Amino acid sequence: MGRIIGVYGTISGLVLASSFLVGWLMGAEIDDHNVFVGYTIMLVALSMVFIGVKKYRDTVLGGVIRFWPAVGVGLGIAAVASLFYVIGWEIYMYATDYSFMGAYVDSTIAAKQAAGAPAAEIAQFTAEMKAFEAQYANPLFRVAITLAEIAPVGMLVALISAALLRKSSFMPAKASS
């Protein structure tokens, strides 16, 4: 089980971490479109959770797995992938001189201004965003926020994978005769 968790978690994690490098090399801008792209990449990378649980079910357990053991394998794979995601983000932050949050805060404030929000609302929003930017400079806070991005997606994929793969008739290893 440990080998499957390590292999599939690493594959998933490398896909996740490499997305930061690709985005950086392509000069991706900060906008709402990138959030959609980011979560799509997460789902594609975390498909390794499903593949890893299926591999464990079919090769180690002879084609049968119960729900909770499947959840355990899936969460293990997601945890390894999440570790790569956090490390990849920290490398990205270092490589970009930790400029992301400043640019993000500036873009959200500009969007609020462009939407025609009242000056008092913009001032309050600016103060809140600057406070968040100061918190984000703390590495422990930043790691927690980064984990909060990927962990729920990983848990959801692990639960769905376990629910589907607990049925030995769902995508069996060998075709039924």
Signed CA dihedral, 113, 115, 118, 122: sign only? negative
Mean pLDDT of successive 10-residue segments in the chain (177 residues)? 96 92 70 75 95 96 95 98 96 90 91 91 95 96 96 97 95 70
Give me the amino acid identity at 37: V
pLDDT at res. 124: 96
Distances, alpha carbon 65 to alpha carbons 98, 118, 158, in Å: 44, 57, 13
Distances, alpha carbon 142 to alpha carbons 67, 130, 139, in Å: 33, 15, 5
pLDDT at res. 34: 73
> What is the C-alpha end-to-end distance of the chain, expressed in Å?
29
Structure pTM? 0.89
